Chain A
Amino acid sequence: MEKFRVEHLNFHYGDKLALSDISISISDRRITALIGPSGCGKSTFLRCLNRMNDTIRGARVEGRVLLDGQDIYARGTDVVELRKRVGMVFQRPNPFPQSIFDNIAFGPRVLGLEGDLHQIVEESLRGAVLWDEVKDKLKQDALGLSLGQQQRLCIARTIAVKPEVILMDEPCSALDPIATLQIEELMQSLKEEYSIVIVTHNMQQASRVSDFTGFFWLGEMVEFDVTERVFTRPAQRITEDYITGRAG
């Protein structure tokens, strides 16, 4: 089932065209990886999916981004509600300087979500496979956790507001290999409930975790296909050159 449909998306930073005519369908409850060299537009594209680029001066979007059939760039779209539905995890873990509990409870409190807050916190931490490690120290400062735990905390914080899509912008680039594998395992369990779109520089990671892969090159999506095919027999020469380390 389709979660996002992007149609002829152009993105301008002032005079610069950063994304050109991107059309793609992102499946529900699947992991979609976006790969490509630095500056190719993959993070810009990711941020178009929950309008994180809105605040950039001179930024302009053309085309349509449909979430469950509704254009998120349509006039009158509630951007706060959009970002609740489409959450984001960033490159470096960015917990608030608060307790573990308050980090997770932050979103539900701000959004006034109904339900038992303790239950939401526990469910979110369990969902992020962090509960067993922190259940006895929920009042402790989140910054005392390891980087890998902090990133899982950020994922728990994201799922605490019950999103439908999780965007991940190089979520493992600051983590060691074990913490990276833990996040990757976590992604596999998260995709049972959420659609995930991940930007990664690590092609092995893209090939390990994702169901679909899109390859960006100079602001264009050159190839989009099931991951297995992209990494074994890509259709485009430039994709092959990039993933075999001969371009980019």
Chain B
Amino acid sequence: MARILGGITTSHIPSVGSAIANELFDDPYWKPFFDGYPKIHAWLDEHKPDLVINIYNDHGLGFFLDQMPTFAIGAAHECRNEDEGWGLPALDPFPGAPEVSWHIIESIVADEFDITSCQELAVDHGFVVPMQLFWPGAPANPDMPRAIPISANTVQHPIPTLKRALAFGRALRKALLSYPEDLKVVVLGTGGLSHQLDGERAGFINKEFDLYCLEHIVHDPDKLTEISRMELVEKAGAQGTEFLMWMMMRGALGGDVTEITRNYHIPISNTASGTLLLECAA
């Protein structure tokens, strides 16, 4: 049977990719951010998951406004990274796990989440930056698990509610636990925390709200479902709505989790960065 080892969240700021390429790990600006990852590396090294579910939000590479799925599940043999407009070199493809993708799709649609399945889906920084952070050298890292992308819409309102995001994660958990083969799974929730790129309020960061979310997502995620979507925009910033991905991840972990490590740092680029590793009860 498949087993969920734990969940990891991280911000997925595009400039992290170039900071990694330039090895700025000890640079004074970057060090407080990169210091959040060694404990995660040690945990992944110890547990060596076979499969990573990468829950992220597409930023206008895989999807355009012509057809915008609220929840999309990748079912490709490989996840291709492409130029998203800035001319950065694309990473090599990440091996997929389409047979597991289809199991999840079957289970989650039976649970009445009417998702969009994608046999081709180009993945952007929201997907690849966390992979690079967790598995240095990704996808070439020898411990790189096979990957399934799940994207939620935060580009265009109406976005899903926090309650729905948490429920999606719980349905994902049910799907994974019913997979008949032995698989060790880790679930990522990427994006956030508070930030806003657009408008006269660009540069908005809200430490108090971020810390509230970090505190409650560990042991009382249902409390966070009381936050409305417009309240989330107001308090987390227009792009801080990416916290939805953290809620989806959290739903997949079940009730009993242990916090292994967390990091919170302001700023990286325009963003309050956050990282959290939660281990599931065995």
Pair from one complex? no
